[in-house]
A and B are shown apart, each in its own frame.
Chain A
Amino acid sequence: METFVAALTIFVLALFVGFEVITKVPPLLHTPLMSGANAISGVTLVGTLITSGARLTTLTEILGFFAVAMATANVVGGFLVTHRMLGMFRRKQ
């Protein structure tokens, strides 16, 4: 129960932080924002590493491989695409 409450605390606080950070972004940057937030959600990769690195059954290995691959695509692709989008915003010359 203790871990549940601790996790709930973190969850609620993170919701508030998310709220505060997002309301300040101008519509100009909404697409890179969505892309950047999506890249961060790839943090699930960390969890997939723990599951698939423990060398357990074949089923787990197969699931683990796909989980790691998909999460890596999410992270790598997400940050690269956001970077590509952001690089294009220029000041008036």
Chain B
Amino acid sequence: MPTEEAIVKLFYLAAAVLFIIGLKGLSHPRTAVRGNLLAAIGMLVAIVVTLADNRIVSFQIIVSGFVVGGLLGAIMAYRAPMTAMPQVVAIFNGFGGGASALAVGAALEEALKGEWIEELTVQFTSSAAGAALIGAVSLTGSLVAFGKLQGLINERPILLRGRHVINSALVLICLGLSAWQVVGFTPLLFHADSQLAADLDRAAFPPDLRQAFENHGIALSGRLSVSVEEANKAWRITDSGNRETYETKRQGDHLSIHSHSALPFWIMVVVASILGIMLVIPIGGADMPVVVSLLNAYSGLAAAGHGWVLNNSVLIVAGSLVGAAGFILTALMSKAMNRSLANIVFAGVGATVATEAESEDIYAGRVKAASPGEVAMLMEGARRVVIVPGYGMAVAQAQYAIQDLTNLLESKGVEVEFGIHPVAGRMPGHMNVLLAEANIPYEKLKEMDEINPGFRQTDVVLVIGANDVVNPLARNADPSIPIAGMPILNVDQARSVVVIKRSLSPGFAGIPNPLFAADNALMLYGDAKRMAMDLTAALKEI
């Protein structure tokens, strides 16, 4: 291959290597910052070396795109509060998927004009269709995920009757349209006199044909060429000045002139966008982490498909890397919830919420409320306290109040640790990020498997805004229970459990929690931040 191309490919290889090393750096907090930086440098290398490629003639679009996109990305990244991280990641992900879809569409449009690549292969068109399909689904799916996480759309699953049938139909329509585009869509423009075939067969453009084009509103340029596809049957007219290609066929006693169109492709993109919405709308807030991770994998695949279209190695490598990473992470998260991915994506869990009457059976007369003063006395005598945070802590922005409480407890000689369930919060590691923001050292943040054995030796567990992850019903094998089989934090094994919650309303699984009615449990009703502050104040007075 020419040296220039080889050099570019070598730089692409370097970028891919930097991406891999970067992702690897994320395996420990000490190397994570450096890992992110290395990946960013890899991206810079790939971008710079691409811009130096002499196929790029016009920089206006690129510079304006850089400015608009860069500002948008930077502003969103720094203005968003930490509790909004999941939806920010979701929306950036959607942008990437959408970018892939638009870019392959543009590439297809150009290829149809015969200018850019020599031959429109099946590989080219089908990769373009595939990338656009996945990219469009990723774009709209991510926007819906953003809406649900941001509270703009109802967080509960919105179930349409017959949605599986509708979605299957949408997929089939997308595949059909893609196949149509691959085969070729050449809409008829007009008919012409078959006498003109004589000129065409000599690969010459008949002067009368120009008038015929003009009669139908098409002004041809002066740079025309004709190629014979099949003698006396089919010809191709290329207008280099306007960058258009026309197919001409003999139909009995006249000629038909066709243009190339990417219409099936674009309709497919619209249908795929609808599919994206349909796939994410039926999923509830608690399952969003899995969905965001899956959508992340999709945009990785869309980028890989984009790379397949342009035959670009760094796109294929990095896209596949992200696709694989996304799928693995999604599988890990499904496993932590002990639910299959199919169940999460298709089953509409959490749509039915336990009624007051159903919950009454479990709670009736057995739920004990306490005041901050009483809980403070309970904690004062404790040697070991474990704090279990949940989404409620994030919503109340209580992490700093928790930090104050933790510091106070530790100054009194109490051992304090945090039990983080794998799917607590809106994204894996969400709780960790919030607590880290409050300067809580990451050694205190224990994973579920690490902290579970220690609950029997724990005096007080403080459950803050968490519900399903500490629900003993999960130990039940009854399949009618949405969270059956999900591994939980065994807080009921501790001496006392204090639950900070605004009310007895169900969590995202929509079921009541027998933990609240347990003998060793106390409810501290109120906002997480308010209650944490009250507890701290009460503890100071003792």
Contacts and interface: CB of A to CB of B under 8 A. Distances in A.
Interface of A: 3-4, 7, 10-11, 14-19, 21-57, 59-61, 63-93
Interface string B377-398: 0000000000000000000000
Contacts, number: 391
Contacts of A92: 441, 443-444
B422 interface: yes
B180 to A, nearest CB: 20
B59 A53 contact: yes
A25 B445 CA distance: 15
Contact of B329 (A34, A45, A81, A93): A34
A73 B142 CA distance: 14
The interface centre, meaning the residue of A15, A30, A60 with most chain B CB atoms within 10 A of its CB, is A30
Interface in B302-326: 302-304, 306-326
Contacts of B22: 36, 40
Contacts of B307: 7, 47
Nearest to B424: A27
A79 B62 contact: no
Nearest to A59: B109
A36 B320 contact: no
B62 A49 contact: yes
B99 A71 contact: yes
A54 B103 contact: no
Interface residues of B, number: 119
Interface stretch (B65-73, B191-199, B344-352, B363-371): B65-73
Interface in B420-449: 420, 422, 427-430, 432-433, 436-437, 439, 441-445, 447
Contacts of B123: 3-4
B74 A46 contact: no
Q: Which 3 A-B pairs have the closest CB atoms?
A: A18-B324, A68-B65, A72-B69
Contacts of B484: none
The interface centre, meaning the residue of A4, A60, A67 with most chain B CB atoms within 10 A of its CB, is A67
A14 B321 contact: yes
Nearest to A79: B40
Contact of A40 (B115, B310, B318): B318
Contacts of A80: 73-74, 77-78
B443 A77 contact: no
